């Protein structure tokens, strides 16, 4: 059982003992801390908070606990009910709210849930503000209001439709071209809120939809992380129904992956590449992804005359870098698309509209689109360390050893070789170093990963 506290919120498994898992007591404590921070940040006695959740089994319970705790702290609530992470993010500024909470553990299995915390822009909190909430929760330093000052709850149950309408109205969404293309797709909604949002969006764009696991029961039919090994049913369905491609999302609909007409993965890394290719074809500009994302984005960006920039891992870091360099699109290699003209958050609905627009204009198959991009292959490994071992010192040794190479040290150590790269970064929650590599063949990526796992283990031996 696990409880992970970070600047972006609290995440854990349901049940067990308080402090070690996401129990009702933990949910109440962190909701209370967020409410206190929000009252201080907004200067309001009754700040407004937007709340939405994915369909996981514990969602209703956690929402009741969090929502009524906020009411007890004097916050007014806008309850979106079943929703998506990007839907809550756009709702916060639309409703002139002071903050938002998304109740979802993203791609984690059904026993997990989490509180994701937003500011008044509908964006994740930065490190400074997030730490204030963690400190307040740890100290249990909060006071609840008296009965006359309790907050109020307002329910709005059509925000997914509002979100869809916004996506359809984006100037970059080529509604006519998509409708004329006559696409047929299979959508795997992993029995969460993507099963509501994605089929509805596609149908309003004139796309024929075959639904697979689109009933938002919270009973995930497979591991909800949208990786190839979890999506055999989608692959079979795409081939069975002779669909043009498949679409899958994670439970809170901020990660997006595609499958081609042959039932083969387009590649999560290439979701952002394709969407950036489309946007950069409409307007020149810069792009951003995190250090562990594919080099293919850099190649596509430079092909269009823009500049690529890398950010530290984490959505809040990508967003800040996008603002710094005025990027026209950015995101993460896990299938997260961030389009500033919509909002600064990963949004699978926006990504679907971009992908459909690109494909309808190019008039090619999804497999042909994938083949048009640079071919890179990734390998992901980790080095297990003894607890208490000086991870920063180990990474410093690597940095010194490869000082003559192109290095980036804003988040661990990334070494860019001519035809491949390796990114070494420490975990925030366990004593491991993650080893991500990319090359122009899977064999080279795997070999590079094994090489650096070996080097890290050798250096670690020196600190035992």
Q: Which residues are catalytic?
A: 106
- Pick from 65, 107, 68: nearest CA to 85: 107
Report, in this order, helix, strand and coil percent for the chain, each rounded to 5.
40, 25, 35
In angstroms, the CA 351 to CA 389 distance is 41
CA dihedral 274, 339, 346, 197 (to 10 degrees): -80
- Answer left, alpha or beta for residue 358, where phi above 0 means left and psi between -120 and 50 means alpha: alpha
Q: Give CA angle at 182 (178, 183), nearest 5°.
A: 80
Q: Using an 8 Å Cβ cutoff, are 91 and 30 in contact?
A: no
Instruction: Please answer whether residues 307 and 286 qualify as being in contact, where contact means their C-beta atoms are separated by less than 8 angstroms.
Output: yes
Which single residue is written with the structure tokens 């509002």?
162
Q: How far apart are CA 341 and CA 328, in angstroms?
A: 8
DSSP string, 265-307: B--HHHHHHHHHHHHHHHS--EEEEETTS-THHHHHHHHTT--
For residues 397 and 391, is the Cβ–Cβ distance under 8 A? Answer: no
């Amino acid at each position: 059982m696990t409880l992970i506290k970070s600047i972006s919120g609290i995440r854990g498994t349901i049940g067990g003992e308080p402090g070690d898992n996401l129990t009702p007591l933990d949910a109440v404590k962190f909701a209370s801390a967020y409410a206190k921070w929000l009252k201080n940040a907004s200067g309001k006695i009754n700040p407004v908070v937007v709340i939405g959740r994915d369909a996981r089994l514990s969602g209703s319970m956690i929402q009741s606990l969090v929502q009524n705790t906020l009411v007890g702290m004097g916050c007014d609530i806008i309850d979106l009910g079943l929703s998506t992470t990007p839907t809550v993010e756009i709702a916060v500024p639309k409703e002139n709210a002071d903050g938002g909470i998304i109740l979802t553990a993203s791609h984690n299995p059904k026993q997990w849930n989490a509180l994701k915390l937003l500011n008044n822009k509908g964006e994740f909190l930065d490190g400074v503000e997030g730490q204030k909430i963690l400190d307040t929760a740890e100290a249990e330093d909060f006071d609840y209001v008296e009965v006359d000052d309790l907050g109020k709850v307002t329910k709005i149950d059509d925000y997914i439709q509002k979100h869809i309408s916004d996506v359809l109205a984006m100037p970059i969404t080529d509604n006519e071209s998509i409708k004329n293309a006559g696409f047929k797709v299979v959508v795997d909604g992993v029995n969460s809120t993507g099963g509501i949002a994605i089929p509805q969006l596609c149908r309003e764009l004139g796309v024929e939809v075959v639904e697979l696991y689109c009933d938002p029961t919270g009973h995930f039919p497979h591991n909800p992380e949208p990786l190839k090994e979890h999506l055999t049913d989608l692959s079979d369905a795409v081939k069975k129904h002779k669909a043009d491609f498949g679409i899958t999302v994670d439970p809170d609909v901020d990660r997006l992956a595609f499958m081609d007409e042959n039932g083969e993965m387009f590649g999560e890394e290439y979701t952002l590449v394709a969407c950036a290719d489309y946007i950069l074809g409409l307007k020149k500009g810069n792009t951003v992804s995190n250090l562990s994302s594919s080099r293919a984005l850099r190649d596509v960006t430079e092909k269009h005359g823009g500049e690529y920039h890398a950010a530290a891992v984490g959505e809040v870091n990508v967003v800040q870098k996008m603002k710094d360099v005025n990027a026209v699109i950015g995101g993460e290699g896990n299938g997260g698309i961030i389009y500033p003209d919509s909002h600064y958050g990963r949004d699978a609905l926006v990504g679907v509209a971009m992908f459909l627009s690109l494909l309808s204009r190019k008039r090619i198959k999804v497999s042909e689109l994938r083949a048009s991009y640079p071919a890179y292959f990734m390998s992901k490994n980790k080095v297990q360390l003894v607890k208490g071992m000086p991870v920063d010192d180990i990474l410093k040794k690597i940095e010194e050893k490869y000082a003559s190479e192109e290095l980036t040290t804003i988040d661990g150590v990334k070494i860019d070789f001519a035809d491949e790269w390796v990114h070494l970064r420490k975990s925030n929650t366990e004593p491991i170093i993650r080893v991500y590599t990319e090359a122009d063949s899977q064999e080279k990526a795997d070999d590079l990963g094994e090489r650096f796992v070996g080097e890290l283990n050798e250096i670690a031996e020196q600190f035992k």
